[in-house]
Structure 1
Amino acid sequence: MPEVTPRPLSSLTTLRTGGEPARMWDAHDRDDLIAALRAVWATGEPWFVLGGGSNLLVGDEPFEGAVIRILTRGIERLPAPAPQVARLRVQAGHDWDELVAYTVAEGLSGIAAMSGIPGTVGAAPVQNIGAYGQEIVQTLVEVELIDESTGEVSTVPAADLGLGFRTSVLKHHHGSEPIRRAVILSVTLDLLEVGPAPRRLRGAQLRQALGLGDEDAVTLQWVRDHVLATRARKGMVLDDADPDTYSAGSFFQNAVVSASVARTLPPECPRWPVRPDGLDVPADPVRIIPLESFDGYIPPADTTEPDVKVSAAWLIEHSGIRKGFHLPRSRAALSSKHALALTNHAGATAAEIAELARFIQGRVQAEFGLILQPEPVLVDVDL
C-alpha cells in the first residue's frame, strides 16, 4: 500500500499554505490509487485528493485526515471515433500542460488555448477548466471514476457530469458539498486532427485575446506560444523565481449574470455571452415545421437573452483595489501583474489570504452589487 510519511501541505500547494495531514498516500498507478481511496474511505476519516496543488487554499492547522496524492501518468491513443478525430485517454495525475504540449506537437486541436494552466488532467473536468473561450467540456468524451459511496469504478459520459462554467457535479463549491463524491481516474478527449499548417481560429474571445482578425490563420504552436507568453505576463505560469506566481491562479471566478443585470454595469466592463465558444447562434435561425403537422400557427421565436460573463478582474480594479494591493501588516497581496490572483509573497498564512479575499468581495459587492465566488477549493478555511 502506498502510504508515506506526511509532508506539510504548504510544500505541495502553489499558494504555499497548509499544515501537515495525519496520513498521506502517494498513488503512482491506477491500482495504487484505487487501493488508497478504498482504504481511506473504509476508515471514515476526512480526506481529499491532491494533484498539482494549484487550486487549493488549505488552512493553517494540521489536517486531521488523509491526503491522497494522485501521481499517475500516461497518454493512450484509442481507436478514432470518426475521420480526422483523435481520441486520447489520459491518466488523472498527468500534468495538464504536458498534455497540451503533446497535443500541439501531434497537430491535435481543441485545448491549445488552455496552455499553461497548472494542475493535473484529472482536476480539469471537476471545474470544467477553460481559458480564452475554450473549455474542456468542448472536447471531453467521458471520465473513469470511483465513487466514495460504493468504492465501485465506472465510466461516466461527459453529459452526466453537469459541466457548466467552472463547475461540475464533482466540484466542491464554497459552502456546499459536491453532488457526487467521486475521484477521477482517467479522462478521455476527442480532438480534431489539423496538423501543423496555419488555420483560422474559431472563437471570437480567443482571436481577440491573441490580437487576431477574423480571417487570420495561425498554427497550433503559435497559439500555444502566445497563450503562454500572455499568461506569463500576468504571472499565471508557475515560476519559482517570481513570487507573483505563488498563487492559485485566478482566485475569483468571472461573474455570470443575466443580460438585464449586465446592462446595469458600466458599458466599459468586459463581457461575453455564455455559450459554447465557436458555436455562433444565428440571428435568424431557420425553423422547420413538418407540413403534416402545420396548422397555420407559427410559434414566436425564442427571444431569451443568453447569460453574460463579466470580468471579475475589471470589477476588482474598478472597485478601487489595484494590482499589488495588500492590507496593513498582511503578507498576502494581489499580484502586481493580475488583479485576479491572490499571492503569497512572504510566508502568508491561509488566514491572511482569506482576510484579503473577504475584503475584495466586500468592495466589489459595495460598488457593483455582485458577490465574487472563489475558484479554489477551500479546506479547513472559510471566507
Structure 2
Amino acid sequence: MSDSSLTHDIQSRLSELADVTLDDRLTFADLTTLHLGGRPRTVVRCATASAVAEVVTLLDAHSVPLLVVAGGSNLVVADGDLDLVVVLLENDSLDVDVATGRVVAGAGAVWDDVVAAAVSAGLGGIECLSGIPGSAGATPVQNVGAYGAEIADVLVQVQLLDRPTGTVSWVPASSLDLAYRYSNLKFTSRGVVLAVELHLSTDGLSAPLRFGELARRMGGTARWPVAAVRDAVLELRRGKGMVVVEEDHDTWSAGSFFTNPVVDPAVADAVQAAVRATRGDDDADRMPRFPADGGEKLSAAWLIERAGFAKGHPGDGAPVRLSTKHTLALTNRGAAKTSDLVALAREVRDGVREVFGVTLVPEPVWIGVSID
C-alpha cells in the first residue's frame, strides 16, 4: 500500500521532534482493549502535550490521515492495512491538589490511575468512575459515565488543540455541549484533548449515590467515604467483566458496546407491553425506564437479554461472544477478527430492533468499518 502524503521527509521531521518516537511494530490489536484491528502506517508516540500538538499540526499541514489514540478502549478498527498514522498519547502527567480539590491530568494518563490518586488523596466526585478503561483525555470526548456519575459533573476545562488553527488553549467545559455519552468533540476531528482539569470535593466523601445497584451495595443513597465507594464499584465492575484483566477474555471488549436508548414514552410503553405479553407481569413491571432529556432512557442490556441474546451468545467456539458476565459487552475470545465483531454487533442490533422496534446505537468509535 502506498501513500504519497506520508513522505520520507515528513517521517524524518517527525523523528526530529522533541519527546517523539516513531514505532512501526504496533498494530491496532496492540493498541485497543478489544485486541482487534490492522496495521497503521506508523505509530508516533508523544510523551508530552507539546509533542502531541506539534505532531498533529505537522501531519494536518501535509494532509496525512491520522488517528489520535491513548487507551484504545473505545475503538472498533478494521482489519488489514490502514491508510493512517496513529498519534499515541503518552503524556501522563498528573497533579492533585488536596487542599483545593483541583486535579489536572495529561490526556495520556490512565484514567483509573487518576481516580485512584484522587481517592487516595480523599477527593470525591469520580469514585463511581473507577475501573473504566482508557485515558483521561477520552473522558470528556464522550462524557464518560457510570453508576449515576458523569465526567460532566466535575469537569472544569480541557486543554484543547484546535486543529483548524493549530492553537492550544484551555476551553471551559460549558462549551463542549456535554450530554449523555456525548460532547461536540465526539465523531469530529476539530480538536484534540491534551489535558483535563477537574474540581473534586475535599471532605473525603463521595457524590450522593444515584444508581440503585451501587446504592444497595453501600446501604443507601447518602454520601459515603470515597475509598469504600471505589472498592464497591470495582467489585461490581469485576463481576461484569468490566475491569480489564489481560488473561480474562471477558474483558477483551470496548466496555458497554451500545448506549442506553432514549425513546419517546409511547415507545417505552410499547416495549413494556410486549414484554408483558411474552414474559409476564413480573418481568414487565421490573423493566428499567427512567426520565431523560428527550423522553425515557431504557436499559440496552435489558433489551438485549429480552430479545433472546443470553450471556455468552452465540456460544462456545465463537470468536466473538457476548460476555459471559454481562450482555452489553462484545468480547474477543482471543483469535477474532474485526469482521467477526461487526457480524455479532449487527445480529444483536437487528434482533433488538425486530423484537422491540428500538435501534441500539454503538458507543465505540468505528475506524475503517461500519455497523451499517
Range of TM-score over shorter length: 0.7 to 0.9
In 2: Cα distance, 1:254 partner to 1:200 partner: 25
Unaligned runs of 5+ in 1: 173-177, 276-305
**Kept after mapping to 2: 8 A contact 1:137/1:163:** yes
User: 1:226 is matched with which residue?
Assistant: 232
The change in CA–CA distance for 1:209 and 1:324 in structure 2 (over 3 A counts) is: farther
In 1: Cα distance, 2:93 partner to 2:31 partner: 22
User: 2:53 is matched with which residue?
Assistant: 34
In 2: Cα distance, 1:129 partner to 1:350 partner: 24
User: 1:355 is matched with which residue?
Assistant: 343
Q: How does 1:70-85 map to 2 (within 5 A)?
A: 70-77=89-96, 85=100
User: 2:297 is matched with which residue?
Assistant: 309
Secondary structure in structure 2 of the residue aligned to 1:204 = coil
Q: 2:327 aligns with which of 322, 339, 347?
A: 339
Deviations 1:327-368 (A, max 9, x none): 897411100000000000031110110010000000000111
**RMSD (Å) for aligned C-alpha atoms:** 2.0
**Kept after mapping to 2: 8 A contact 1:327/1:356:** no
**Kept after mapping to 1: 8 A contact 2:158/2:195:** yes
In 1: Cα distance, 2:331 partner to 2:245 partner: 13
Q: TM-score, normalised by structure 2?
A: 0.86
Q: 1:65 aligns with which of 59, 84, 87?
A: 84
In 1: Cα distance, 2:40 partner to 2:30 partner: 12
The change in CA–CA distance for 1:246 and 1:328 in structure 2 (over 3 A counts) is: closer
Determine if the alignment matches structure 1 residue 111 to structure 2 residue 129. Answer: no
**Kept after mapping to 2: 8 A contact 1:122/1:185:** yes
AA matched with 1:331 = P
In 2: Cα distance, 1:234 partner to 1:254 partner: 17
User: 2:153 is matched with which residue?
Assistant: 138
Deviations 1:146-205 (A, max 9, x none): 112111112211111011110111111xxxxx2x6110011011111112xxx5851331
In 2: Cα distance, 1:215 partner to 1:30 partner: 39
Determine if the alignment matches structure 1 residue 148 to structure 2 residue 163. Answer: yes
Which 4+ stretches in 1 moved above 2 angstroms? 206-218, 258-265, 271-275, 326-330
User: 1:86 is matched with which residue?
Assistant: 101
In 1: Cα distance, 2:63 partner to 2:317 partner: 40
Determine if the alignment matches structure 1 residue 205 to structure 2 residue 211. Answer: yes
Determine if the alignment matches structure 1 residue 252 to structure 2 residue 258. Answer: yes
In 1: Cα distance, 2:334 partner to 2:198 partner: 39
1:43 to partner: Cα distance: 1.8
Q: 1:21 aligns with which of 13, 36, 40?
A: 40
In 2: Cα distance, 1:25 partner to 1:48 partner: 10
Q: How does 1:250-329 map to 2 (within 5 A)?
A: 250-266=256-272, 267-274=285-292, 307-326=295-314
Unaligned runs of 5+ in 2: 1-16, 273-284
Deviations 1:259-300 (A, max 9, x none): 33323322422123237xxxxxxxxxxxxxxxxxxxxxxxxx
Q: 2:69 aligns with which of 50, 55, 63?
A: 50
The change in CA–CA distance for 1:208 and 1:329 in structure 2 (over 3 A counts) is: closer
Secondary structure in structure 1 of the residue aligned to 2:211 = helix
In 2: Cα distance, 1:318 partner to 1:213 partner: 29
The change in CA–CA distance for 1:260 and 1:76 in structure 2 (over 3 A counts) is: same
Determine if the alignment matches structure 1 residue 5 to structure 2 residue 23. Answer: yes
AA matched with 1:31 = S
Secondary structure in structure 2 of the residue aligned to 1:263 = helix
**Kept after mapping to 2: 8 A contact 1:5/1:24:** yes
The change in CA–CA distance for 1:92 and 1:63 in structure 2 (over 3 A counts) is: same
The change in CA–CA distance for 1:123 and 1:227 in structure 2 (over 3 A counts) is: same
User: 1:127 is matched with which residue?
Assistant: 142
Q: Which moved more, 1:354-363 or 1:203-212?
A: 203-212
1:9 to partner: Cα distance: 1.1
In 1: Cα distance, 2:346 partner to 2:124 partner: 39
**Kept after mapping to 2: 8 A contact 1:116/1:228:** yes
Secondary structure in structure 2 of the residue aligned to 1:336 = coil
User: 2:3 is matched with which residue?
Assistant: none
**Kept after mapping to 2: 8 A contact 1:24/1:66:** yes
Q: How many residues align?
A: 340
AA matched with 1:187 = V
The change in CA–CA distance for 1:327 and 1:337 in structure 2 (over 3 A counts) is: closer
Deviations 1:80-112 (A, max 9, x none): 9xxx75122211111100010111111111100
**Kept after mapping to 1: 8 A contact 2:208/2:222:** no
In 2: Cα distance, 1:190 partner to 1:120 partner: 18
In 2: Cα distance, 1:169 partner to 1:217 partner: 31
1:68 to partner: Cα distance: 0.3
In 2: Cα distance, 1:141 partner to 1:67 partner: 28
Determine if the alignment matches structure 1 residue 182 to structure 2 residue 191. Answer: yes
Q: 1:163 aligns with which of 165, 178, 182?
A: 178
**Kept after mapping to 2: 8 A contact 1:126/1:170:** yes
In 2: Cα distance, 1:22 partner to 1:200 partner: 44
The change in CA–CA distance for 1:150 and 1:75 in structure 2 (over 3 A counts) is: same
